[in-house]
């Protein structure tokens, strides 16, 4: 089957929406479509579409735009939290743990990781770090090699500053299990749960970097929810649905309580929700009574 839909001008896109029952001032709708593409906005008006492609009564540009701006501000909040987690957990705690045991260049030795990291997998990680080192314009890189020209790479605490989240996640995945457990224990987590959270955050970070939707999204990579036996607070008043963004917000809340207890990130999230009372939070995965959860009910963070 061939794709035969023609490209439409902004004016034609607006007229098509209006003909299907979309409520908007035409001039403003054209201006909006020239700033945010028709296709990007489809995710926000999709819940209002009927089987015949017309819109349910009351589907307006104002309503859709508020969902879009809520989602944009939610992404900014999530990216802020992920940055804190990335810097504290991967670029600081994990690095400090590894260099104290294996030295500044121990990451270049495959013997300092799990046996299954042997061969091409470890080599690719080191090559990725070296590639980023060569591309970097950070002054500390040039200064290091000017002074230590015989070294094949940067010390890990420098390399970690230019490595990608994905590379650092690979580093964590192949740490020896005792080291994974040691890092997880600092955060009140098992190694398995922490790995799933970092995997999910890498995915969420990429979504946010490409301005993709968090509202009303079913997650392709889902974080583990800690078990009820040892982590009862995760299951009050209800277990978070790990297919939805609320589970990610909750794990970020948990991690920030550990690494930045002075932060007011949760208060900022509550303020965002307060400013958008018309946004259906169930489509983000918020359960009824979520504010009463022990994880969310504290005043700080």
d(C-alpha 107, C-alpha 231), whole Å: 33
- Per-residue pLDDT at 301 exceeds 60: no
| Tens of pLDDT, residues 160-192 | 999 999 999 999 999 999 999 999 999 999 999
Domain annotation covers residue 159:
yes
Residue 60: phi and psi, rounded to 5, are -125, 160
d(C-alpha 200, C-alpha 78), whole Å: 12
Domain annotation covers residue 17:
no
Domain annotation covers residue 225:
yes
The per-residue pLDDT for 118 is 84
- Per-residue pLDDT at 119 exceeds 90: no
| Tens of pLDDT, residues 27-74 | 999 999 999 999 999 999 999 999 999 999 999 999 999 999 999 999
Total structural domains within the chain: 1
Q: Taking the C-alpha atoms of 213, 216, 221 and 223 in order, what is their torsion angle to the nearest 10 degrees?
A: 120
For residue 132, what are its two tokens?
A: 């980023």
- Per-residue pLDDT at 300 exceeds 60: no
> Average pLDDT, stretch 257-277?
96
Domain annotation covers residue 16:
no
End-to-end CA distance of the chain: 53
Domain annotation covers residue 285:
yes
pLDDT above 70 covers a percentage of the chain that reads 99
| Arithmetic mean of pLDDT over the chain | 95
- Per-residue pLDDT at 158 exceeds 80: yes
Q: Find out whether 77 and 252 touch, Cβ atoms under 8 Å.
A: no
Residue ranges making up the domain that contains 143 = 70-292
Transcribe 65-84 into DSSP letters.
HHHHHHHHHHHHHHHHHHHH
3-state secondary structure of 49: strand
Is residue 138 classed exposed, middle or buried when 0-12, 13-18 and 19+ CB atoms within 10 A define those classes? middle
The per-residue pLDDT for 249 is 98
Whole-model pTM? Answer: 0.93
| Tens of pLDDT, residues 182-233 | 999 999 999 999 999 999 999 999 999 999 999 999 999 999 999 999 899 9
d(C-alpha 215, C-alpha 196), whole Å: 21
The per-residue pLDDT for 63 is 97
The per-residue pLDDT for 297 is 86
Domain annotation covers residue 59:
no
Domain annotation covers residue 28:
no
């Amino acid at each position: 089957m061939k794709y035969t839909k023609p490209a439409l001008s902004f004016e034609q896109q607006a007229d098509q929406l209006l003909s299907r029952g979309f409520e908007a001032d035409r001039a403003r709708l054209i201006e909006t479509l020239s700033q945010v593409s028709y296709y990007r906005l489809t995710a926000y008006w999709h819940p209002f579409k009927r089987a015949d492609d017309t819109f349910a009564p009351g589907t307006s540009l104002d309503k859709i735009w508020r969902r879009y701006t809520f989602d944009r501000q939610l992404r900014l909040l999530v990216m802020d939290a992920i940055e804190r987690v990335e810097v504290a957990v991967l670029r600081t705690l994990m690095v400090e743990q590894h260099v104290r045991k294996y030295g500044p260049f121990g990451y270049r030795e495959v013997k300092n990781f799990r046996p299954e990291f042997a061969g091409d997998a470890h080599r690719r990680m080191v090559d990725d770090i070296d590639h980023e080192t060569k591309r970097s314009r950070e002054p500390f890189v040039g200064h290091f090699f000017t002074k230590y020209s015989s070294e094949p790479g940067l010390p890990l605490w420098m390399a970690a500053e230019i490595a990608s989240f994905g590379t650092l996640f690979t580093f964590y995945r192949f740490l020896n299990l005792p080291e994974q457990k040691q890092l997880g224990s600092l955060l009140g987590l098992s190694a398995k749960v922490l790995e799933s959270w970092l995997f999910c955050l890498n995915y969420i970070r990429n979504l946010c970097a490409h301005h993709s939707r968090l509202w009303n999204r079913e997650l392709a990579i889902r974080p583990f929810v800690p078990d009820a036996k040892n982590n009862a607070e995760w299951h009050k008043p209800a277990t978070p649905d790990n297919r939805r963004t609320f589970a990610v917000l909750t794990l970020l809340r948990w991690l920030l309580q550990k690494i930045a207890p002075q932060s007011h990130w949760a208060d900022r999230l509550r303020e965002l929700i307060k400013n958008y009372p018309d946004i259906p939070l169930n489509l983000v995965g918020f359960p009824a009574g979520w504010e009463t959860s022990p994880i969310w009910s504290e005043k700080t963070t």
